Amino acid sequence: MRKGKSLLWVLLIAVSVLCGCGNGTVPENNGGQSGAPVQEPGGASGTEECQGVQGKTPDIQEAVPYGQPEMKGEITISCLFEEEFLSAAAEQFMKRYPDIKVTVNSYKESSGESAVEDYRTYLNTKIMTGKAEDILLTGFLPITKYSEMGVFEDLSGYIQKTPELNDENYFMNVLQAAKVDSGEIYIVPYMARFDTLAFSAELMSEHSGIENDIRGICFGTAMDLAKQLVDETDKSNAFLIQMNEVSYAHYLIKDSIGQFIDVDSKKVNLDSAEYIALLESVKALSEKGYFDSEIDFYNMEYYFAAECDYDVQAAYYSMDTKSGTNYCMPLTDAEGRTLMKSNSCVAINSASENKDLAWEFIRYLLSDEAQTSPSFHGPTVSRKGLEAAAERYYAFYKEGNGGAGFGSQAEYKAILESWVEQINGCDTLDSSITDLIDEENSKYFSGRQTAEDTARRLQRQLEQYFNE
């Protein structure tokens, strides 16, 4: 695939031997901290009935109340780029607990062409040698691989036993969005980021009757409707969406990723008639003028039938139903799931000797004190944090529009809350996979290779990715 991938698996195989915690349980040796939540194998809470060796049912164990460990020691955190919210949280945490030192190790101060790959290689070396940080920010990391190899600790026990983590204070659907089928939770979000999709209010107003039953729409279905809006309008300079062919294909593929890639079984089906047809359909749209890269945004009239946007901005402009967007909603996949992004999550290194202290820092990261901070850029998992974010963003966008508001702050907050409450999953697909797909697809759209060659190359490279 790319340089460094072979090293990745050599390192991860070694990690699985060194970690000793590949089943996601909290080990008996917890670094001398007696208050660790005890988690049964498989993520069980320890309260379920089980059969004894003689077929008898033993007494049901009562859930052990959460006990805070001795707040003394050191916590280390690894991330690719320097993060303002993380530095601020670390500083405040140390003020609250003077006997704890928090060290944030950011690998890069700015982005570069090989920054992600270099960081992964660097982090894998630290994991192999047992020197990786206690807490890992999951942005740019292969979450599924790390979870399967036992690099990440199962956090479901900590979540269950932390008293303030409940529906009254938090969006628990978000906190548990990354739960795997067997019950483990390896990554915990500190923010809930997601894409939205909306339609042109003006074009929709001219085509009544086709807007029914579009709530919870996936990208492909939305583009079918957007194409209809373009085809039926008498306006000139009406386009499908502000995307190029690569981005458009990216969203279509993510729509039905299971049709082409089965991560669990490590099966790839990209060298197929369906994938080739997808690429050719996007190329045909481009050739017919549904995309336009030469729009003069300042000197010409133009219309996009649909638009993708990010959560907090989309919520504000969704209230402008006259000249803005209409029927704005979180984007779902083809199965109807509203997936949050996994790049705003944290994990605990399963080989850490400071798991309890690491959880205490995550617990602080999720606290209202941290979540209401302006350094959190987006919808938070704390309900009070989201209220504070809604107040900040409403004021920001209103000021940016010359003081004109399309709705009230309360309405804006209600929209954001309703969207966050729809989240029922987490997109943990390795970004290396989508980056590779985008890179090969760009060669097809630029005329450097055929659709068939693109499909074959992707099939071969992703099979290697899953089997090396």
Mean predicted confidence (pLDDT) in 160-168: 96
Has residue 57 got a pLDDT over 70?
A: no
- CA angle, residues 124, 130, 133, in degrees to nearest 5: 75
Assess contact for 189 and 420: CB atoms under 8 A.
no
Chain length of the chain: 468
* 217 CB neighbour count, 10 Å cutoff: 21
Domains of the chain: 5-46+62-191+340-375 (3.40.190.10), 195-337+427-467 (3.40.190.10)
Q: What value does the mean pLDDT of the chain take?
A: 84
Pick from 380, 414, 375, 423: nearest CA to 394: 414
pLDDT tier at 29, thresholds 50, 70, 90: very low
Has residue 28 got a pLDDT over 90?
A: no
Assess contact for 189 and 344: CB atoms under 8 A.
yes
Q: What is the pLDDT of residue 402?
A: 83
**Whole-structure pTM value:** 0.82
**Residues 332-356: tens digit of each pLDDT:** 999 999 999 999 999 999 999 999 9
Has residue 358 got a pLDDT over 90?
A: yes
- H or E segment and range at residue 114: none
Q: What is the pLDDT of residue 293?
A: 66
Has residue 366 got a pLDDT over 90?
A: yes
Pick from 151, 136, 144, 186: nearest CA to 22: 151
Distance CA 455, CA 253 (A): 13
What does the buried/exposed string (b/e) look like for 234-269 if buried means 16 or more CB atoms within 10 Å of the residue's CB?
eeeebbbbbbebbbbbbbbbbbbbeebbebeeeebe
Helices 409-420, 383-400: axis angle to 10 degrees equals 130
**Residues 282-322: tens digit of each pLDDT:** 999 999 999 976 666 666 677 899 999 999 999 999 998 77
